[in-house]
Amino acid sequence: MRFLNRWLGAISSLRLTLVCLAAAFFLVFVGTLAQVRLGLYIVQEQYFQSWFIWWSAASGNFKIPVFPGGHLIGAVLLVNLIASLIHRLSWHWRKLGILLIHFGIIIMLVGGLATDLFSVSSYMRIREGETKNYSEDSSHRELAVTDLTDPKTARVTAVPGDVLAEGGTIIQKSLPFQIVVRGFYRNSELHMIDQQSGHAVPASTKGAGARISIQSKPRATKLDARDVMSAVLEIVPANGGASLGTWLVSDVMAEPQDFELDGRYWSLQLRATRYYKDYGLSLIDFTHETYPGTQIPKNFSSKIALADDKNNDHRQVLIYMNHPFRYLGDTYYQSGFDPDNTGTILQVVRNPGYQAPYIACALVSLGLMFQFTLHLVGFARRAKPAAAP
Amino acid sequence: MKRFIPYLVLVIAGLWIGMSWIAPRPRSNDFDVRSFSRLPVLVGGRIKPLDTVARNSLLIMRGKQSLRLANGGKMEASRWLADVLFNAPVADTYQVFAVANPDVLGILGWAQADKRYCTYAELQPYLAKIDEEGKTAAAMESAKRTPFQTAIYNLRNSLILYQQLKSSIHPENTTEFAAEIQTYAATAALKQGTTALTQDARALLTAAAARYEAQAQFAYMLAVAPPAEGKAGDWLSTGTALLRVESPQAIPASVSAFANMGDALRKNDRATFVRAADAYADWIGKEHPDVNGRAAYELHFNLSQPFYHSMVLYVAAFLLACASWLVCPKGLRHTAFLLLVLALAVHSFGMFSRMYIQGRPPVTNLYSSAIFVGWGAVLLGLVLERLFRDGIGAACAGMVGFVTLIIAHHLGSSGDTLEMMTAVLDSNFWLATHVVVITAGYSAMFLAGLLAVAYVALGVFTRMLTRETAQTLTRMVYGIICFATLFSFVGTVLGGIWADQSWGRFWGWDPKENGALLIVLWCALILHARWSGLIRQRGLMAMAVFGNAVTAFSWFGVNMLGVGLHTYGFMDKAFPWLVAFVIAQGVIILFSRLPASKWSSFRNADRSDLYAAGFKPAA
């Protein structure tokens, strides 16, 4: 029992809180400066959504942890907070504010963790008059293998990009062949091979890749730059037949590539990961308002028709700046538009923890106000006597 | 008698401010532009008086809001604009272009010390060269430009602005504009009739259409007011308005008014110019009372220069409060307090005027954030002074008011500070909550930091840091940091909620968000360190001083990184200043670590005082 008490005392101690806060302060500062070099997305991954920040030698492939990452600091702070609520803080009405603040912070940390783990962000691009029933996540790719044999029902088998990144052989029950990853490029550059320059090596033996050379590139760091993911895949029949050859698939290759195996027709395409919905959204009208006599944008708005046969919900909605549309766990935001002003780009976020910050904010604000009002009353009362020297 | 001296000083300061409310009288031998300067036009999406257009244009081109003539005399911005709009050959001889970069002067073939300002006429032979070099610079990222490229880029922009201004009302080579548009309208009316046009008439219409189309393309302002009830979107350039004219009666009132003013100015007919401007001002007042009221108000705001006046008063109050520690404590302190109240009143007038003119909450860009940070900190300082009456609150309030207004002055040199808000920021609710609350947090952090600097300065260099003063300062700093924690936290979370509403994520580790989080974390560190007994007085002060650096980084530093979503007001010119500021805070923190024997106030202090201050008791 004594041992448990001591242990609880240590993990609930104010010193541990201070260490966590100081570490968080340092991490946020360094992580902000690092964005100049690495860009926002890589910093998020390496500094804030990680257990450790790793340092790796430029030449070798060993790496050592140099500082706790965002998840580790957050987790320790969370344990420290919960322990101090149980063990150290007194449950007295004068401390009600303190309790509320810390309870709110716990909700915020848990909500933040849930968001990091479970939230999915994607985009839906709709032209005026068009209807879409899926959104796309361009930061994640999938290899779409489509069975084209029956033109009425195209059956798609999707292989996530992360599986391709692991390499090896991909075996799926729905496919009569294996896919062997012969090359994987997180960021790459493709070049058409022209007749004169004889020394360029074709990326693959079949498909468009037979006329294209590929080069690996370091990952993109700028906010508006994206990696070009590519892979070289070999198709080997599952029944042990001879290999059909290799294909190059890449983000920048818009068209699917076809091949035939035992009388059935297939296509391969690397594309943004798709999330299908049970309902459709059509764009009726997109408007782009500017201030009179200027090019300064005043508002962007999309008039959308929702068609949900399953729930028998058919109506019009207006999505515009600062006014998203929430439907069945998805939230649609006005995010961008096509340069000709007749197409809209909606951001689609599915975040089960999205309410946590609202609740946390209310709790912490209440707590802070309660405590500081209490403090201010005492402060003013004590200040008065000093006024008459 | 002595009791009245502070009030006498207050009255004198009040009179000095009151004088600036009266519009300057024109010299008897020059045009009276008082009515002209308040005429509303639409520029940059906002309806504003010509006086604002003139001041902002001069600010961009020349760095000042008025003009110095070759003979040493001073010219009001509006008077200058009248010449630019109507009498370009004369305007071309005014020295309005600031050229300081030696390499730019080199292109122009002038020696460095020759001149700082030059005229359009002097630059004219080099326009092609400036345009070419300026275009090269424009194609580059602003951070990668050399000083020469920045200078030539700015000069090119100034020249474009100037040329656009000259074409605002009519094409540059116009002589008799009123007559010209009458003839044009009469001919256009013929086109509506049944008779065929003569060849001359057709030629006249074709030439006029080309002229007016070109003017409409190039005009800097939309000067033609719509008929009554018209909206901001219905304002037109004179060219566009004329192209729609089908009879002499259909010429819009604005066009004929400006035409009459221009003709009178070119003929040097002062009386007709004033009559035309007055008549048009009356027309606007009748047709658009709201627009007219706002424009007239903005003109008064421009003339009264509230931030300049409060800046001077803040310095005076700071000096008086410091002096009160040496001589005549009660009287000087009271005078300082009264001056601060007056300064804050003028400061508030300026801030609320901007809110009225713009129809927005107080903070919309970096410039207005500096105004608001100063305002909030001075208000808090005044409350402290009222509570403690020791001159420290007053001195800090004067100091912080002066410094923030100086910062605002430098941030405001890029033109109109009342810009329109781009789509994502076009939300008065979030501007009024998130932005105001977080900026109030900055105010509190800086005030706490300044009080901590006062603790260190008074303690190390003077013997004035008595036990009572030290305790008072500690309570002040602790209380203000609590206040800062509340505002920074609530402001940061409100920002997260705004981001969740507009970008679909509560938190994205964007630099500006991180900056706000750093302040919250630092406040939490200070409070927990204090509660754990890890720090006492000096530790609290050192941490509060470092809070200055954290806040400055969050306010300006993250904007200098050049990454992220909060892309309003990137600024790299101020980087050396930020570095200097952070180093200064470091030096002050080092001073706070000096041993007790080096502190004038603690040299002979007893053990309990040394303990409270956080010194290790001597063995």
Q: Which residues of A touch B426 (CB under 8 A)?
A: 298-299, 321-322
Is A164 found in the same domain as A108? no
pLDDT, mean of residues B337-349: 96
Most B-contacting residue of A46, A291, A330, A359 (CB-CB within 10 A), to test interface: A291
Rounded to whole angstroms, how far apart are CA atoms A292 and B460?
59
Whole-number Cα distances in Å, B308 to B17, B313, B431: 10, 9, 26
pLDDT at site A389 = 35
B221 pLDDT above the threshold of 50:
yes
Is A194 found in the same domain as A157? yes
Q: Is B75 left (phi over 0), alpha (psi -120 to 50) or beta?
A: beta
Q: CB of B98 within 8 A of CB of B57? A: no
A385 pLDDT above the threshold of 60:
no
Q: Which residues of A touch B561 (CB under 8 A)?
A: 32-33, 35-36
Is A268 found in the same domain as A344? no
Question: Which tens digits make up the pLDDT trace of B288-312?
Answer: 999 999 999 999 999 889 999 999 9
Most A-contacting residue of B382, B419, B509 (CB-CB within 10 A), to test interface: B509
Is A151 found in the same domain as A269? yes
Closest-CA distance, B358 to chain A, in angstroms, reads 14
Residues near B156 by Cβ (< 8 Å), separated by ≥ 6?
A: B130, B131, B133, B134, B135, B137, B138
Question: Which tens digits make up the pLDDT trace of B556-568?
Answer: 888 887 666 554 4
Angle (nearest 5°) at CA B482 between B477 and B483: 95
pLDDT at site B569 = 47
Among A205-209, A251-255, B228-232, B277-281, the range with the most confident prediction by mean pLDDT is: B277-281
B44 touches chain A (CB under 8 A): yes
B15 pLDDT above the threshold of 80:
yes
pLDDT, mean of residues A340-369: 88
Choose among A25, A300, A371: nearest Cβ to B521: A25
A195 pLDDT above the threshold of 70:
no
Single residue among A275, A290, A320 that ends a domain in this structure: A275
B455 pLDDT above the threshold of 70:
yes
pLDDT at site A386 = 46
B459 pLDDT above the threshold of 70:
yes
Whole-number Cα distances in Å, A310 to A279, A280, A314, A326, A332: 8, 11, 10, 17, 20
Q: Which residues of B touch A28 (CB under 8 A)?
A: 514, 517-518, 521
Is A248 found in the same domain as A174? yes
Rounded to whole angstroms, how far apart are CA atoms B86 and B268?
11
Pairing outcome for strands A168-171 and A257-261: unpaired
Closest-CA distance, B426 to chain A, in angstroms, reads 7
pLDDT at site B550 = 97
- Whether residues A386 and B468 touch (CB distance < 8 A) is answered with yes
Rounded to whole angstroms, how far apart are CA atoms A84 and B265?
79
Question: Which tens digits make up the pLDDT trace of B417-454?
Answer: 888 777 777 777 888 889 999 999 999 999 999 999 99
Q: Angle at which helices B467-502 and B537-552 pack, to 10 degrees?
A: 30
pLDDT at site A197 = 61
Q: What is the mean pLDDT of chain B?
A: 88
Is A185 found in the same domain as A111? no
pLDDT at site B410 = 87
Is A143 found in the same domain as A126? no
Structure tokens at B422: 């781009």
Question: Which tens digits make up the pLDDT trace of A59-72?
Answer: 667 788 889 999 99
Number of domains in chain A: 3
Is A87 found in the same domain as A75? yes
pLDDT cut 70: percent of chain B above it: 96
Question: Which tens digits make up the pLDDT trace of A148-170?
Answer: 888 777 788 888 888 888 888 88
Q: Which residues of A touch B515 (CB under 8 A)?
A: 32
Where residue A196 falls among pLDDT bands split at 50, 70, 90?
low
Where residue B113 falls among pLDDT bands split at 50, 70, 90?
low
**CA end-to-end span of chain B:** 55
Structure tokens at B226: 């719509």
pLDDT, mean of residues A314-332: 90
Structure tokens at B585: 């805070």
Choose among A357, A372, A380: nearest Cβ to B482: A372
Q: What is the DSSP secondary structure assignment for residue A136, as one 8-state letter?
A: E
SS3 content of chain B, % helix, strand, coil (to 5): 70, 5, 25
Among A252-256, A350-354, B490-494, the range with the most confident prediction by mean pLDDT is: B490-494
pLDDT at site B619 = 47
pLDDT at site A173 = 84
Q: Which residues of B touch A26 (CB under 8 A)?
A: none
Choose among A28, A300, A372: nearest Cβ to B517: A28
Is A318 found in the same domain as A343? yes
Choose among B427, B506, B563: nearest Cβ to A35: B563
B143 touches chain A (CB under 8 A): no
Q: Tell me which residue range forms the domain holding A341.
A: 122-132+278-350
B583 pLDDT above the threshold of 60:
yes
Is A173 found in the same domain as A248? yes
Nearest alpha-carbon partner for B603 in B458, B459, B453, B451: B459
Choose among B486, B515, B562: nearest Cβ to A372: B486
Single residue among A228, A251, A275 that ends a domain in this structure: A275
B45 touches chain A (CB under 8 A): yes
pLDDT, mean of residues B93-99: 90
Question: Which tens digits make up the pLDDT trace of A350-363?
Answer: 888 888 888 998 89
- Whether residues A365 and B561 touch (CB distance < 8 A) is answered with no
Q: Is B415 left (phi over 0), alpha (psi -120 to 50) or beta?
A: left
B398 pLDDT above the threshold of 90:
yes
pLDDT, mean of residues B154-162: 92
Instruction: Please tell me which residue of chain B has the smallest CA distance to A30.
Output: B514
B258 pLDDT above the threshold of 90:
yes
pLDDT, mean of residues B36-51: 92
- Whether residues B511 and A35 touch (CB distance < 8 A) is answered with yes
pLDDT at site A383 = 61
Is A179 found in the same domain as A162? yes
Whole-number Cα distances in Å, B82 to B39, B44, B53: 12, 20, 11
pLDDT at site B500 = 85
Q: Which residues of A touch B517 (CB under 8 A)?
A: 28
Rounded to whole angstroms, how far apart are CA atoms B38 and B259?
17
Q: What is the mean pLDDT of chain A?
A: 86
Is A126 found in the same domain as A237? no
Instruction: Please tell me which residue of chain A has the smallest CA distance to B473.
Output: A383
pLDDT at site A88 = 72
